[in-house]
Chains A and B, each alone.
Chain A
Amino acid sequence: MSEGTTQNKPECATVNPQQLRQQIGLKVAYIAGAFCVLIAIAMFISHLRFKAYYPLDSIGLIELKQKLVENPKDESLKIQIRKLDLELRTEHERHLRFVKTGKILFVIGVVIFVSSIQTAFWRKKLCVIKNKTRVSSIDKKFYQSSGAVMLVVVCLTSVGFIIVKTSQTNIPNSSALAKASSPLVEVLPSYKEYLQQWPKFRGPFGDGTTLYTNLPTKWDTESGLNIIWKTEVPSNGFNSPIIWNDKVFLSAGNAQKREVYCYNANDGKLLWQTAIANLPGSPPKPPDVPDYTGFAAATMATDGKRAFAIFASYELAALSFDGKIVWAKYMGEPKNPHGHASSLLTYSNMLILQLDQGEVEDKLSKLYAFDGATGKVIWQTQRPVSSSWATPLIFESGGTTQVVTLSVPYAISYSITNGSELWRYEGIGGEVVSSPAFSNGRLIIISPSDKIIAIDPQGRGDITKTKFVLWTSDENVPDVTSPLVTKNYVFTITTMGILTCFNASDGKKLWDHDFGADFHSSPTLIGDKLCLISQNGDVYFVKAGEKYEEVSLFKMKDKFHASPAVVNDRLYLRGEQYLYCIGNKVAMASK
Chain B
Amino acid sequence: MTEEQTNKTANRRQFIRGGLRGAALFVFGAVTTLLGLQSRKERTVWQIDPNKCIACSKCATNCVLTPSAVKCVNYFPMCGYCDLCTGYFEPNPNALNTGAENQVCPVGAIIRQALEDPYYEYRIDENVCIGCGKCVVGCVQFGNGSFFLQVRHDKCVNCNECSIAKVCPSDAFVRVPASSPYIFRAKENQS
Contacts and interface: CB of A to CB of B under 8 A. Distances in A.
A contacting B, Cβ–Cβ less than 8 Å: yes
Given A56-B60, A78-B94, A92 B107 contact: yes
Interface of B: 57, 60, 66-67, 90, 92, 94, 99-101, 106-108, 130, 132, 134
Given A78-B101, A96-B66, A85 B132 contact: no
B57 A81 contact: no
Given A78-B94, A96-B66, A96-B67, A68 B101 contact: yes
Interface string A55-70: 1100000001100110
Can you list the 7 inter-chain pairs with the closest CB atoms, starting with the nearest?
A: A85-B100, A55-B106, A81-B101, A82-B100, A56-B106, A78-B101, A55-B107
Contacts of A255: none
A89 interface: yes
Contacts of B108: 85, 89
Interface string A78-99: 1001100110010010001001
Contacts of B130: 55
A430 interface: no
B101 A82 contact: yes
Contacts of B100: 81-82, 85-86
Contacts of A64: 101
Nearest to A80: B101
Interface majority SS on B: helix, strand, loop or mixed? loop
Contact of B94 (A68, A85, A96): A68
Nearest to A57: B106
13 contacts: A55-B130, A56-B57, A56-B132, A65-B90, A65-B101, A69-B92, A78-B101, A81-B99, A81-B101, A82-B100, A85-B100, A85-B101, A86-B100
A168 to B, nearest CB: 23
Contacts of A172: none
A72 B60 contact: no
Interface majority SS on A: helix, strand, loop or mixed? helix
Chain A interface residue count: which class?
A: 10 to 19
A392 to B, nearest CB: 37
Contacts of A99: 66
Contacts of B60: 56
Interface in A38-71: 55-56, 64-65, 68-69
Contacts of A96: 66-67
A82 B99 contact: yes
B89 to A, nearest CB: 12
Given A56-B106, A64-B101, A96-B67, 15 more contacts: A55-B106, A55-B130, A65-B90, A65-B101, A68-B94, A68-B101, A78-B94, A78-B101, A81-B100, A81-B101, A85-B100, A85-B101, A89-B107, A89-B108, A96-B66
A64 B100 CA distance: 11
- In this complex, the member of A69, A77, A78 whose beta carbon has the largest number of chain B beta carbons within 10 angstroms is A78
A68 B99 CA distance: 13
Contacts of A56: 57, 60, 106, 132, 134
A270 B66 CA distance: 61
A47 to B, nearest CB: 9
Contacts of B134: 56
A489 to B, nearest CB: 28
Nearest to B134: A56
Contacts of A82: 99-101
Contacts of B101: 64-65, 68, 77-78, 81-82, 85
A186 B134 CA distance: 39
A506 B132 CA distance: 48
Contacts of B57: 56
A55 B130 CA distance: 10
A520 B90 CA distance: 52
A571 B100 CA distance: 53
Contacts of A89: 107-108
B13 to A, nearest CB: 18
A65 B92 CA distance: 12
A420 B132 CA distance: 49
B162 to A, nearest CB: 21
Nearest to A56: B106
Nearest to A88: B106
Contacts of B132: 56
A222 B94 CA distance: 62
Contact of B99 (A69, A72, A78, A92): A78
A81 B103 CA distance: 11
B118 to A, nearest CB: 22
A102 to B, nearest CB: 12
Nearest to A81: B101
B177 to A, nearest CB: 28
Contacts of A86: 100
Interface string A449-479: 0000000000000000000000000000000
Nearest to B97: A78
Nearest to B98: A82
Contacts of B106: 55-56
Interface in A554-584: none
Nearest to B106: A55
A81 B94 CA distance: 12
A77 B90 CA distance: 16
Interface string A16-46: 0000000000000000000000000000000
Contacts of B99: 78, 81-82
Contacts of A78: 94, 99, 101
A69 B106 CA distance: 18
A540 B92 CA distance: 44
A222 B89 CA distance: 57
A281 to B, nearest CB: 53
A72 B92 CA distance: 11
Nearest to A82: B100
A81 B107 CA distance: 13
Contacts of B67: 96
A101 to B, nearest CB: 14
Contacts of B107: 55, 89, 92
B130 to A, nearest CB: 8
Nearest to A65: B101
B138 to A, nearest CB: 15
A58 to B, nearest CB: 8
A65 B99 CA distance: 12
- In this complex, the member of B92, B94, B99, B130 whose beta carbon has the largest number of chain A beta carbons within 10 angstroms is B94
Contacts of B66: 96, 99
